[in-house]
Amino acid sequence: MMLRNEKKFRGCPNHANWQPNPLHRVIRHDINNQLTPLTGYLEILEGSQLDPPLNKYILKATTTA
């Protein structure tokens, strides 16, 4: 007999046996392809000497991406 919580989370994407379908993999791959150069440019900008307000925005963008 299944516990109530097991029934509740059986169809949940966070379930341990959940596998993404091919469309999810393609979309995630495409998004990562867009984010990779962005994060690279942000890392370059972090190392450059910019105004402190700009550094705050660059740091926020880096942690978000």
Query: Could you give the number of structural domains in the chain?
Result: 1
> Per the domain annotation, does 62 fall within a domain?
yes
For 33-62, give one letter per residue: b (16+ CB within 10 A) or e: eeeeeeeeebeebeeeeeeeeeeeebeeee
The DSSP H or E segment spanning 7 is helix 4-9
Give kind and range of the element (H or E) at residue 10.
none
Domain assignment of residue 17, yes or no: no
Over the stretch 9-50, which tens digit does the pLDDT of each residue have?
555 666 566 677 888 888 999 999 999 999 899 888 888 888
Residue 57 lies in a domain: yes
**Is the residue at 1 inside a domain?**
no
Answer with the residue of higher pLDDT: 65 or 7. 65
- State the pLDDT at residue 50: 80
